[in-house]
Amino acid sequence: MEQRAARQAGEAVAGDVAARGRPITPEEEATAQRAGTSIIVGDTGPQTRTLAQGVSNLAPQARETLKETTDQRFFGQSGRISDFIRGLTGGEKFADATAIREAARRTNRPAYERGPER
């Protein structure tokens, strides 16, 4: 059974790589590992995702492992996005821009509510 599963996983990965090329470069894999993001066989492509889903439907332990991995990714997503945006905007400059926008809203709102002066 284990040999069959290993063969099916290997075939699925090979099929995805043949159809789409290597999905994750070694550099991306290293970056993901440094960030604590798990890389699973389902990241390779549609054939391996289908295989992972099928196995999770048959084996409760596999289902729990897949669920834990995807849950961790989901819950960590907002932090990764925030870090990415901070990196694009120069870090704390993002907070400064947000503070400026908030101050502008507080200042401008009363003027808009009063309307144009005649």
Q: What whole-number distance in Å separates Cα of residue 7 and Cα of residue 102?
A: 57
Give the pLDDT of residue 40. Answer: 74
Give the pLDDT of residue 89. Answer: 65
Q: What whole-number distance in Å separates Cα of residue 76 and Cα of residue 36?
A: 10
- How confident is the prediction along the chain (118 residues), in pLDDT tens digits per residue? 667 777 887 888 788 888 877 777 888 888 888 877 777 767 778 888 888 888 888 888 888 888 888 888 788 788 877 777 777 666 666 666 777 788 888 888 888 788 776 5
Q: What whole-number distance in Å separates Cα of residue 91 and Cα of residue 99?
A: 14
Global confidence as pTM: 0.48
CB 17 within 8 A of CB 45: yes
Give the pLDDT of residue 118. Answer: 58
Give the pLDDT of residue 33. Answer: 81
Please list the alpha-helical segments (H only) found in 1-118: 2-20, 26-35, 46-58, 60-89, 93-114
Close Cβ partners of 85 (under 8 Å, ≥ 6 residues apart): 94
